[in-house]
Every structure is written in C-alpha cells, then in structure tokens.
Structure 1
Amino acid sequence: MSVENQLLLTLIKLRLHTPNQEHAFWFSVSEFTVGNIFVTWINVMFCSWKELNIWPSKELVIVHMPSDFKRLYASTRVIVDGVDVPIKKPGKPTAQQMTYSTYKNRNTLKTLVGIAHGGLTSYITPAYGGSASDRILVERGDSPQKCDPGYSSYDKGFNVQDIFAPFNIQVNIPTFLGKKISSQQKQ
C-alpha cells in the first residue's frame, strides 16, 4: 500500500470513526493491516507534531477574535476546557480506579484543550486518568508559561487563578458562571 494511501486511510478513520473492517474492504487489505497502519501513522503524527509550536501570536489571535468577544474579553488569548475521552474499562482494578470519571460515570482519559478564537487547537496537555481534576491538569501542564501576561478564559470547573497569578495572567470566568463559582467559594 502506498504511503499516500496509508495516510489517507488514517485520516479517513480519524474523521469517520469507522471500523477496521470497512477500511480493509475499501483499501483491499486485511483488518490486521488496517490496525497496524493506523497505529503506525498515529505514532508518526504524534512524534512529528509534538515538536511544532502551534501557539498563535497575540496579533493573530486578535485578528480572528469575534467582535462581541473582543468587546468583552479583548485580551483573552486562549479558551481552555477539560475533555473526557471514553475508553474501554481496563482489566486491572488500579487502572480502573485511575481512569474512572465520576462526572461521566465511566472510564475516561482526560486532557485540557486550548482553542484560539479562530478555532485553532493551540494547546493539548498530556492525557491523565479520568479521575484527575481539571486543576491537576493545569498544575501539571505548561499553559501558564505559554500565556503572555494578559488573560486566559476557562470553563466553570476551574479555580486556578492562584496558579496563573505569579505569571501576571488573569483567569476570566464567563459572567453566568462567575456568580456560581463565587458563591461556592464562600461556602
């Protein structure tokens, strides 16, 4: 199978989430070959792309920022949210415990994803077990070091201003969530 077709197979599989059996039929190879090609290309992409600096410049962020957002949060550089990816239940009890998300009520891997205003995924932390909190992901990641002094916008579950304060970065919490978090902190 040509290198181009291997990459095409991988991209189609990522986009459509189709089973190996369909790809085997489409590309006239075995299901085992599809699995090997997919895993190989995912590893190649990971090793190659992790070296890229995809953190956009402040100027680029401002160009792509929606006008309403610019009016309310003009200095926001990135919007970050925790993402839980469902996984098959591990066989070992310790792995089950580490990956079990009480929020999702299933086993997951968890990561933080940062999105620039134009829709560019500019930041992804390493994945942790679903039992890890959003705060742990921020503490172990390097998002404070990536941000210029200014603002970062986070989802409602985050109480991380103390992590960003030494870097002179303010954490914006959307207004409708800010009141809820403030009342929870007072209790």
Structure 2
Amino acid sequence: MFLCRLKCGLLTQDLAVRFNCHISTVSRKIITWSNFLYFVLGSFNIWPNKYNIEAKMPAVFRMLYPSTRVVIDCTEIKTERPSSLALGSKCYSSYKSSHTWKGLVGIAPHGALTFVSSLYTGSMSDVEITKLCGLIDLLESGDSIMADKGFVLNKVLDGTGITVNTPPFLMSHGQFSIQEVEETQTIAKLRIHIERHIRRVN
C-alpha cells in the first residue's frame, strides 16, 4: 500500500478501495510507514560532494550554470485546521488558501534528490525556510543555488561566497529585454525537474 502511494501517488480513497479497507486504516498505515522511512533516510547522508556533482553534471548546466550545486523549491502539504488558534494562524498558507505544512526540496543538476528539509508552518516564506533548514551550511564558497523568484536570498547568502540563480525581476523599465526573456526561459527549462520530483511526492 505504501509503495503504491510512493510510486503512483494514489489518493487515500483510491487505496482504500484497492486494498478493501477503511480510509482511516490507509491514513494510519501511510503515516506509520512515512515516519519509518523518514527515520531511515534521516540516518543517511544523501548530500553528494562537489566532485560527484561535477562528474555527473549535464552539458547544459556545465555550459550555462557550471557552479550549480542544488536546484531548490518549496512544497506544501495540506493539513487539518489545528484546534489552537495561534497554530492555525501560523499554518495558514495564503498561497494555497488552506492550512499546510511546508518543506524545502533540493535536487542535484543531474536530477538526483539530495535534500529534504523538516516541515515548517505554511505561513513561513521560502527565504525563511531556506535560512533555517540547514541547506546553506552544506554549501561551499563558489557554489550556486538555482531557484525561482520567491527565493530572494541575497541578504541570507551575503558573505558566504554562495550565489543564487533566479529568473530576472521586472524592474522599473516595465519590459524584459530579449536577454532577460531568454534567461527566464532557460532557468524555467532547467528547474522543471524539481517540480516533477515534488509532483511525485504530492
């Protein structure tokens, strides 16, 4: 049941029908195995060294963004509304318009999953989660992160020697230049793999 959930992303109601059991039984077993898997994976270091990243780096990254160590994005998991008003306020995500837990996921340029953060309340920003989750401590001077526009990390990375590659922002001139449009498209094509990873989990 748990492997079907991981491989195919089947919903609890679907699994309940397939395995001929109640939805609450499915939820309980999924949570139990998820906790076990999190414990097992948490005891292994999945963060590859720079040599392994460079050895397996795809040609397009090597040509355009050779210092990329990790491609990141945040994902949100919906949860029930907490009974505590204070916690409910912290868990409310304006982006999802519901109560969520939020985590950061990172992959290497060649697509391997290399980082999964703890879960944080849905109201926290992408920048705040990146700052707290421990990812920056794993990076080295000269590394770069690829992310979307929500990750404005310049202040967080100041003085670390680490840079961030994001699509350009539309400034006061009101229109992207041809070069900025091309850069936006290039980063979007390279970032699509992190979104596919997250879609599998969700």
Is the TM value for this pair above 0.5? yes
2:82 matched to 1:87? no
Match of 1:131 in 2: 123
Identity of aligned residues (%): 29
Contiguous gaps of at least 5 residues in structure 1 = 1-8
Match of 1:4 in 2: none
For 2:51 and 2:90, how far apart are their aligned partners in 1?
A: 40
Give the counterpart letter for 2:17 in structure 1. E
For 2:59 and 2:127, how far apart are their aligned partners in 1?
A: 30
Contiguous gaps of at least 5 residues in structure 2 = 173-202
SS of 1:85's partner is strand
Match of 1:108 in 2: 100
After TM superposition, what 4+ stretches of structure 1 lie above 3 angstroms from structure 2?
29-37
State the 1:141 CA deviation.
1.6
Match of 1:3 in 2: none
Match of 1:45 in 2: 37
TM-score, normalised to structure 1's length?
0.78
2:15 matched to 1:11? no
SS of 1:107's partner is strand
Is the 8 Å Cα contact of residues 23 and 31 (structure 1) preserved in structure 2? no
Q: Deviations over 1:25-49 (max 9, x none)?
A: 2xxx666654443332222111111
Q: Deviations over 1:33-69 (max 9, x none)?
A: 5444333222211111111111122222223323222
Is the 8 Å Cα contact of residues 56 and 110 (structure 2) preserved in structure 1? yes
State the 1:75 CA deviation.
0.8
State the 1:154 CA deviation.
2.2
Q: Looking at both structures, which has the greater relative contact order when contacts are Cα pairs under 8 Å and sequence separation is at least 6?
A: 2
State the 1:165 CA deviation.
2.8
For 1:128 and 1:49, how far apart are their aligned partners in 2?
A: 19
SS of 1:110's partner is strand
Q: Deviations over 1:113-142 (max 9, x none)?
A: 111112112112211111101121022121
Q: Deviations over 1:133-181 (max 9, x none)?
A: 11210221211110122212222111212222332111222xxx2233x
Figure out how many residues of one structure are paired with residues of the other and give that number. Answer: 168
Is the 8 Å Cα contact of residues 24 and 31 (structure 1) preserved in structure 2? no
Give the counterpart letter for 1:16 in structure 2. G
For 1:147 and 1:113, how far apart are their aligned partners in 2?
A: 15
2:66 matched to 1:66? no
Match of 1:142 in 2: 134
What is the correspondence of 1:132-171 to structure 2 with a 5 Å cutoff?
A: 132-150=124-142, 151-171=144-164
